[in-house]
Amino acid sequence: MKKIAITTGDPAGIGPEIASKAIRFLPLQEDFIYIIYGKILPFPDGNIIKKIRNVEAADISTIIYWIEIDDSGYETGKPSSKTGKISYNILERCMLDLKAKKLDAVVTCPISKKAIRETHPDFIGHTEYFAEKTGSENVIMNFWGPYFNLALLTTHIPVSNLGNILNRKFFLKKLKLIYNETKKIIKNPKLAVLSVNPHAGENGAFGFEDELLKKALKELLLENIIIDGPFPADSFFAQNNRKYDMLISAYHDQGLIPFKMISSEEGVNVTLGLPFVRTSVDHGTAFDIAGKNLASEKSLKTAVNFAEQMLDNNFEKKADNYTVFARFYDRYMSHANYQEWVSFILKQFNKTYLKSPQKVLELACGTANISTLLVQKELEVDAVDISSEMLSIAAQKSFKPILYQADILNKTFPGKYDLILLLFDSINYFLESRQVHKILKNAYQSLQKQGMFIFDITTLKNCEDNFDGFVNLEDNTDDYMVHQSELNYGNFIQTTNLTFFLKKGYLFSRKDEIHKQKIYKVKEIVEIIKENDFKLIGIYSIDNGKNQVGNNYDSLDRRFTRIFFVLEKNAV
């Protein structure tokens, strides 16, 4: 298993907050172990966090480990020599384990260079620190984002010093490294380099650097290294940036101004040329909002994911369902009568057991609208979802349950619950009957000796009346969602395409998600239940209220838009 370190940066900044938020519902991968170096503020739910003294103690992938490095005598939001010293100590401790090859990657939260320089005057930044400590003379600041990727020929140096650095040898060394490192990530990449001076120097009228750059590019051609350019930077981003896999900028602000303008929270800082993987957030310490629960962990989560991809050489885009849609979900479901659903659920349990449930588990809880109502009724509720974005929204609500991130196909909670719920046609997202079998088996194992499992399905009537051929536009001030659904009558798979346009600064970005659901017939579900250990005690439509067990199941598919199944475990 590969070990990934996360350093929490300046303790007075947002690093501890975003690290705590990012790991709370981080989907744990069996091939990776995560170790936090620094300060975090653990939540009472989410992933299990275990304190350790040494990285060797981190040996399983189902929990997150924490090497605490902190001190007293500082105030959140106020950087100081003390917070700078703590930041540096975190880096030093992590660096020891990196050099000893006890770690495979490091993901860094933001630091204050000024605060560190109060005790370490020669400190420049993360990139330079890692380069010096590993003896890596040739490193590149590299940024990956959804719209374009960027490599910088120089790091944190004054613009006035560029002329002293940019020579033929420098260009050849840096461009060759960028090309070779990009090839490891993208097959047959197309690269372009921006000019150093306005209008690419106008053949030497505005400096000599671009003429040297042109000569270096010609030399690289002899080694079959093709990099287009140099292109005038002022017009390039409006016309050509989507044609290339990697853009190369001579200095920091030339490339990072457009990158951060459109890739905010979605960009990842990568250091090329190190003996280990290093990624980072693309933002700073944000001392002004530190300690106010306002910081977004999105960039850190992206950086962690990118480190995973670099370690296993898998750069295929992962499924994005319920990432963007999560922020629209409560608005989209505003028509749902959650109180009515809760009343129906508790009525079924009370009718069977003559009491209320004590311990409830909601599977695929989404933003936990049902669970929060159950908590308000003073029930003990755990809630699980695969989407960390949905869980992050649920975590902001009053009366929230205990929240966990998990794939419910592969997770059981043996013998813990009186009542388990799987609602809002979540079971339709499992496209194969064997998966539905697995869900039922997991639910059975997670119930106490006596308990109830309630789930619902969307029906053919609901699909035909409300979704098949459906096109809708939700128009709001800063975002738009286009919803299109279609049913394939060959396999009864309903495909929903969601397209989002999200305002970011002066621009709108487009995101897409594809959701697929199997439109099961009632009799198919009944047959699956019969093949499991549960006893089917109820089939209902909330609007009708009559138990349909034993009735003509074929008719239910076209009479009702949603069907609830009530199952009992009685293993006493």
Do 435 and 562 fall into the same domain? yes
Q: How many domains does the structure of the chain reveal?
A: 4
CA angle 44, 90, 106 (to 5 degrees): 80
The pLDDT value given to residue 340: 96
The pLDDT, as a whole number, for residue 103 is 98
Together in a domain, 188 and 128: no
Determine, yes or no, domain membership for 304.
no
In the prediction, which pLDDT does 225 show? 95
The model's pLDDT over 118-135, given as tens digits with 9 standing for 90+, comes to 999 999 999 999 999 999
**Looking at the structure, do residues 505 and 420 belong to the same domain, yes or no?**
no
Determine contact, residues 126/285, Cβ cutoff 8 Å: no
Q: Does residue 365 lie in a domain region?
A: yes
Q: Using 50, 70 and 90 to split pLDDT, how confident is the model at 315?
A: low
Domain co-membership, 67 together with 142:
no
Does a structural domain hold residue 307? no
pLDDT band at 178 (very low <50, low <70, confident <90, very high): very high
234-240 long-range CB contacts below 8 Å, 24 or more apart? 234/198, 234/199, 236/192, 236/194, 240/192
User: Domain boundary at 112, 135, 158, which?
Assistant: 135
Q: How many CB atoms lie within 10 A of CB 78?
A: 14
Same domain, 564 and 453: yes
Q: What is the pTM of this model?
A: 0.86
H or E element at residue 82: helix 81-99
**Of 341 and 260, the one with more pLDDT:** 341
170 and 240 housed in the same domain: yes
Band (pLDDT 50/70/90 cuts) for residue 316 is: low
For residues 547 and 209, which has the higher predicted lDDT (pLDDT)? Answer: 547
Of 260-264, 294-298, 415-419, 485-489, the range with the lowest mean pLDDT is 260-264
pLDDT band at 571 (very low <50, low <70, confident <90, very high): low
Confidence of residue 210 (pLDDT cuts 50, 70, 90): confident
422: domain CATH number is 3.40.50.150
Residue 25 inside a domain? The answer is yes
pLDDT of res. 234: 85
Q: For residues 237-241, give the mean pLDDT.
A: 73
Q: How confident is the model at residue 205 (pLDDT cuts 50, 70, 90)?
A: low
Whether residues 353 and 478 fall in one domain: no
Average pLDDT over residues 300-317: 84
187 & 218 share domain: yes
Of the pLDDT bands very low, low, confident and very high (cuts 50, 70, 90), residue 321 is: confident
User: For residues 77 and 87, what is the distance between their CA atoms, to the nearest angstrom?
Assistant: 14
Helices 15-24 + 298-312 axis angle, to 10: 60
Give the CATH number, domain containing residue 484. Answer: 2.20.25.110
pLDDT above 90 covers a percentage of the chain that reads 76
**Same domain assignment for residues 36 and 125:** yes
> How much is the pLDDT for 509?
86
Picking from 135, 159, 190, the residue at the C-terminal end of a domain is: 135
**Domain limits for position 444:** 325-459+519-570
pLDDT of residue 562: 96
Task: Please tell me whether residues 526 and 482 are part of one structural domain.
Answer: no
User: Domain holding 187: CATH number?
Assistant: 3.40.718.10
pLDDT band at 320 (very low <50, low <70, confident <90, very high): low
pLDDT for position 203: 67
42: preceding bond cis by omega (within 30 degrees) = no
- Give the domain-ending residue among 273, 308, 339: 273
Mean pLDDT, residues 326-351 taken together: 94
User: Please, where are the H alpha helices in 403-552?
Assistant: 433-446, 460-466, 522-530
Mean pLDDT estimate for the chain? 92
299 in a domain, yes or no? no
What is the chain's length?
572
Residue pLDDT, tens place only, 497-529: 999 999 887 788 899 999 999 999 999 999 999
Question: Residue 441's pLDDT is what?
Answer: 96
Strand runs (DSSP E) across 329-462, as ranges? 359-363, 380-385, 402-405, 417-422, 447-458
pLDDT score of 229: 87
The rounded radius of gyration (Å) of the Cα atoms in the chain is 27
Tens of pLDDT, residue by residue over 439-483, are 999 999 999 999 999 999 999 999 999 999 999 998 888 899 999
Judge contact between 433 and 401, C-beta under 8 A. no
- Same domain? For 253 and 377 the reply is no
Query: Could you tell me if residue 284 is inside a domain?
Result: no
Dihedral angle sign, alpha carbons of residues 78, 156, 301, 263: positive
**Mean pLDDT of the 294-315 span:** 89
Helix (H, G, I), strand (E, B) or coil at 451: strand
Q: Is the pLDDT of residue 92 over 60?
A: yes
Report the C-alpha gap between 397 and 459 in whole angstroms.
31
Distances (CA, A) of 117 to 11, 80, 85, 161, 437: 16, 10, 9, 21, 60
Does residue 158 surpass a pLDDT of 90?
Answer: no
Is residue 294 a part of any domain in this protein? no
Examine the domain organization and report whether 527 and 511 are in the same domain: no
pLDDT above 70 covers a percentage of the chain that reads: 97
In a domain, 315, yes or no: no
CB 145 within 8 A of CB 302: no
